Amino acid sequence: MEIEALEIVDFFKATLPLDCATTEQLESLILKTEIGYRRKGHVLTLNPDYLYLVRKGAVLIEDENEQLFSILGEHQWFGYSNQLLLYVHSCQEDTLYYRIDKHHFHELFANNNTIENFFVDANLKTGIAFQNITKQDNLLNNSVLSMSRANDAYLVDQQTSIEQVAKLMTDRNITAVIVTNNDQLCGIVTDRAFCTKVVAGGIDATEIVGKIMTKDPISIAYYKSGIEAMLLMAKSHIRHLPIIKNNKVVGIITAADLLRKQSHNVVFLINEVLVSENRADLERISQQVPLLLQSSFDSNMDEHDITYSVSSVGRTINQQLLKQAEELLGPPPVEYAWVVAGSMARSEQIAHSDQDNLIILSDAYQPNLHAEYFDQLAKYVSDGLNACGYVYCPGDVMATNSKWRQPLSVWKSYYSQWIIEPDPKALMYASIFFDLKCLYGDATLLDTLLSGVLKKSHKNTIFQSHMAANALHYTPPLGFFRNFILDKNGVNESALDLKKKGVVPIVDIARVYALSHGVKSINTQDRLRELVEVGGLSQSGADDLIEAYKIINLIRIKHQQFQIKSGNPADNYVLIKEISSLDRKHLKDAFSIVTDMQSAMGLQYQTSIL
């Protein structure tokens, strides 16, 4: 082997994840490796069929808003994410890099889980089809031919009349036909052409279709991915792409096809919920929620956006069940507000959890006249939520419990008692019922309730101290020497409970400070940001807590999406062996931030004297 090739092999061996590859594999990899060199300031044109590796120099990546996304140095990869191919890659210094054939790379390391998982762990799906561990179709890797409805690719000769084409499209319920000349693609006619050209343009229906077709339409090769089709459509402002194989039209891919294949897309799911007609429909749709979490993570979506998307679907299911209940039972006899609590209210839900809900009734409510209606309504919705995966609350915090289905005046008395006499049970209820969101009905009932409650909690320092002490019940699982303190997750395997010991402490801290400073927001990150504005927290303190929250929750989401892919029920117990060394370091730093903040909160609210 030549000296230059030996140097490349040595460089590969020192680069993650190729350090676990054999010398023979690396020698084979070299055969499909090209060397590139560009001067400082050069904008790189990336080919999606290649992986790129920095040998010397630095590559700067900027997003679509020309904001800095990342700076890569020696031994770092780029070009492995279809999403990032859209970003601008430029040389910050004179740069030497390797360009490696993706197909060869994939074939070479197809059986090496360490190398496969390296790119998966980067939070960015690659174009290398590392899909053997997933049981669901992924839009990023499916070919357009497999995603299209081949039988809907209707071909007509350009001499066919407009009238005949219109009849064909109507009979077959299709939105486009492919126009050919001697069996070769020469045009496309969509339903829009009949409006813009035939009707508006006054073209006679007996004319040939060639007169209204879009000539030489943009097409896509049969092996291209769905994401490439989506981007091509967006860039070209079109909704239909003929699919070509061996210079022949073999199908057509539409924007609707792409949306159908993204049935776990949040917009698609919410729309499906809104047009559902019965509980069976909702049960079917709700089965896509875990896939929503999985696909959102795979798409490198921000942690906040993932939880907001999942929570939004859950809230819409609540609303649709309430509409169905009212259709079944008739209009409500008095005004009411259907309110959810906890993570769904805060927009922080991930995998399906239990349901927490309540009803605030107008003070016009009369039990002897109205109780049966609201009892049946609550039962219909609660049973429906349970069927959709939002299981009954173990603590019975549900509107089916008459205690949590009361007039506004009774709710006011509940809160007054909890604030004035903050015993352990009252504090438990406070931790639930201070995070509320009205999903249906008269929202002014909740607004009226909370406006008075916030005034009382803002002034009552004894209640605040008790809330702070209660918030110290769960502490991050970090020992004196920064070692993890592990829980038993029920199967005798040591694990970290990243909900109770990770996310909950930050949620509790934000709630305590929000109540004592009159902050109305209920989302944890929103509360922390608003606390800076009102002087409740320093900018650095809030930023640190938000970053800690994101790190902990993202590792938790990563764990759950892997369980979903593996066909296992999602939980919050993360085994240490699942967490990469880098994530362990970040997790320990996050836990340290929370521990320090809990200590500061304890001092500020004098919890030690209670």
Question: With pLDDT > 90 as the criterion, what percentage of the chain qualifies?
Answer: 51
Q: Give mean pLDDT, residues 461-485.
A: 89
Which residue did the predictor score with more confidence, 438 or 482?
A: 438
CATH of region 266-450: 3.30.460.10
Q: Which residues does residue 68 pair with via DSSP β-bridges, in sequence order?
A: 62
Among 150-164, 394-408, 433-447, the minimum mean pLDDT is found in 150-164
Segment 579-592, tens digit of pLDDT: 887 888 889 999 99
Q: Give mean pLDDT, residues 449-455.
A: 91
Q: Which range has the top average pLDDT, 101-115, 304-318, 397-411, 477-491?
A: 397-411
Q: Is the pLDDT of residue 567 over 80?
A: yes
Q: Which residues contact 387 (CB under 8 A, 6 or more apart)?
A: 279, 282, 283
**Domain pair 144-261 / 470-609, same fold:** no
3-121 placed in CATH 2.60.120.10: yes
Domain range summary for the chain, segments of one domain joined by +: 3-121, 144-261, 266-450, 470-609
Q: If pLDDT is split at 50, 70 and 90, which confidence band does 316 have?
A: very high
Domain 470-609's class? mainly alpha
Q: Is the pLDDT of residue 128 over 60?
A: no
Q: If pLDDT is split at 50, 70 and 90, which confidence band does 96 have?
A: very high
Structure token digits, residue 51: 């992986």
Q: If pLDDT is split at 50, 70 and 90, which confidence band does 129 have?
A: very low
Q: Which residues contact 137 (CB under 8 A, 6 or more apart)?
A: 261
Residue 64 pLDDT: 63
CA–CA separation, 9 and 29 (whole Å):
9
Q: Is the pLDDT of residue 492 over 60?
A: no
**Is 484 within 8 Å of 478 (Cβ atoms)?**
yes
Q: Is the pLDDT of residue 234 over 80?
A: no
Q: Give mean pLDDT, residues 429-452.
A: 93
Helical ranges in 441-571 per DSSP H:
443-459, 461-471, 504-516, 524-533, 539-565
Strand 95-101 versus strand 33-38 pairing type = antiparallel
Q: Name the average pLDDT for the chain.
A: 86
Which residue did the predictor score with more confidence, 351 or 588?
A: 588
Q: Give mean pLDDT, residues 421-448.
A: 92
CA–CA separation, 345 and 468 (whole Å):
21
Closest CA to 122 of 503, 558, 466, 521: 558
CA–CA separation, 265 and 55 (whole Å):
38
Among 144-148, 279-283, 317-321, the minimum mean pLDDT is found in 144-148
Per-residue HEC secondary structure of 320-383 comes to: HHHHHHHHHHCCCCCCEEEEEECHHHHCCCCCCCCCCEEEEECCCCCHHHHHHHHHHHHHHHHH
CA–CA separation, 60 and 80 (whole Å):
15
Helical ranges in 461-534 per DSSP H:
461-471, 504-516, 524-533
CA–CA separation, 570 and 560 (whole Å):
5
Q: Is the pLDDT of residue 21 over 70?
A: yes
Q: Is the pLDDT of residue 159 over 80?
A: yes
Segment 240-271, tens digit of pLDDT: 999 988 888 888 988 777 766 555 567 678 87
Q: What CATH homologous superfamily does 144-261 map to?
A: CBS-domain (3.10.580.10)
